[in-house]
Structure 1
Amino acid sequence: MTAAGDPAPLDRMAIVHAKVIAPDLGNLAPLTRQGLKLLIVGTDWPEDRQIYALVVGCYGYCEAGVAPELLAKAVGSILKGDVWIPRNLAPRLIGMLARLSPAVNETEKVSAEFEKNLDHLTHRERDVAKMLGEGLSNKLIASMLNISERTVKAHLTSIFQKLEVQDRLQLALLIKNHI
């Protein structure tokens, strides 16, 4: 609660069953404008519809019938400010954002610093970074490079440190124009 007695923004969340959502998701806009963090629970929503739900302001999607523990984990993540999406959707979403990256104008300083730091990557780290920039998952990168997912994660940790980026999304957006 805030000093005025209103719920704090992070405490405002709703789980919405897909059956009550309009086909165009239009009835969600008033809820998201009020600051509600919405988790949609649906059945076999296509990826495009899940992405559109994020665009209109929802914080996540999960399938109806999901284990209660997983639903609780989704709620907890959203309350912390994270987005909850099916794992298989993440590479596509990163790929879409990476394609939009020219619209996101990075300053010359960030670009020059990033370019300089690229020289510190090993050949394998460059391969991993490039594949991540294409929106591939750790599992797919591991398979294509014939290494374990654990090794991919180790490479990513090293890449994040060397390039001074915080996460996959930031790396994907920056790497798209540089490798």
Structure 2
Amino acid sequence: MTVRILLVEDQAIVRNGLKMIIEQDSEFQVVAEASNGIEALKMIEKVHIDLIIMDVRMPEMNGIEATKRIRTRFPNMRIIILTTFDDDEYAYQTLKDGAMGFILKSSPPEKLLTSIHSVLDGGMVIQEDVAAKLMPKLLQQQYTSFEKQPIPLSERELEIVKLVGEGKTNKEIANALFLSVGTVKNHITNILQELELRDRTQIAIYAIKNGLV
């Protein structure tokens, strides 16, 4: 089954290069392109998209605002942020808004391809040097609103939250806990309801804030 990808990047030459890299994998096809967030929103209305590769700094509407609007209208859309700027503030905001990955354009091509596969499998990808800057920002909130609140989850659910926080996919979680992938998905659905969270990215952030990882 072909994964249909929308590439959002304002520089045409960069888009062409990224398209060549992405389509090295026979499972991936770039079916649409956009040069800013406004065009991306219009494109999603016209074309079936499975995953978006999104630049941050673009004219008219940047990747941060576009991510927020897209996830509001299409809450299940998978988005990977791709940028030349290793700025932890960008990562923090886009992850809060529902992006499932944040990698740098300076990464080797295979990093982009493995990141796409990981996100499609339900994982979360954060560039190592960005993660190093991002973790303290998340951890410093651990002692604020979450400090005295009990965690309304079972032991099994806490194990799953921890593994989601470590960026594991559903399949990896299932293997680690000797469960079926379907059972893991059911647990994650229950966790989202119990914690009143929107998606697994928020579960991962919750895990970090609560010191579970």
- Deviation readout 1:135-177 (Å, 9 max, x if unpaired): 1111100011111111111111111111121111111112124
Q: Which of 5, 8, 18 is equivalent to 1:40?
A: 18
Cα distance in structure 2, aligned partners of 1:86 and 1:150: 21
Divergent runs of 4+, >4 A: 12-17, 65-68, 79-82, 94-99
Select the structure with the greater relative contact order (CA < 8 A; seq sep ≥ 6): 1
How many residue pairs get aligned? The number is 129
Report the RMSD for the aligned CA atoms in angstroms: 3.9
Give the strand-richer structure, 1 or 2. Answer: 2
Q: Which of 137, 157, 162 is equivalent to 1:103?
A: 137
1:56-67 equivalence runs, <5 A: 62-64=22-24, 66=26
Q: Which of 118, 127, 131 is equivalent to 1:88?
A: 118
Gaps of 5+ in 2: 1-6, 34-43, 53-65, 72-77, 81-114
Q: Is the 8 A contact 2:123 2:170 kept in 1?
A: no
Cα distance in structure 2, aligned partners of 1:144 and 1:130: 12
Q: Is the 8 A contact 1:98 1:173 kept in 2?
A: no
Q: Secondary structure at the match of 2:31?
A: helix
Aligned identity (percent) is 26
Report what 2:172 is aligned to: 140
Cα distance in structure 2, aligned partners of 1:148 and 1:166: 23
Report what 1:131 is aligned to: 163
Please say if 1:162 is aligned against 2:199.
Answer: no
Q: Is the 8 A contact 1:98 1:133 kept in 2?
A: no
Report what 1:175 is aligned to: 207
Q: Is the 8 A contact 1:132 1:168 kept in 2?
A: yes
Gaps of 5+ in 1: 1-11, 22-27, 29-37, 44-61
- Deviation readout 1:66-99 (Å, 9 max, x if unpaired): 468x533897354946525512267461585766
The TM-score with structure 1 as length reference comes to: 0.53
The TM-score with structure 2 as length reference comes to: 0.46
Aligned CA distance change for structure 1 residues 95 and 112 (closer, same or farther; 3 Å): farther
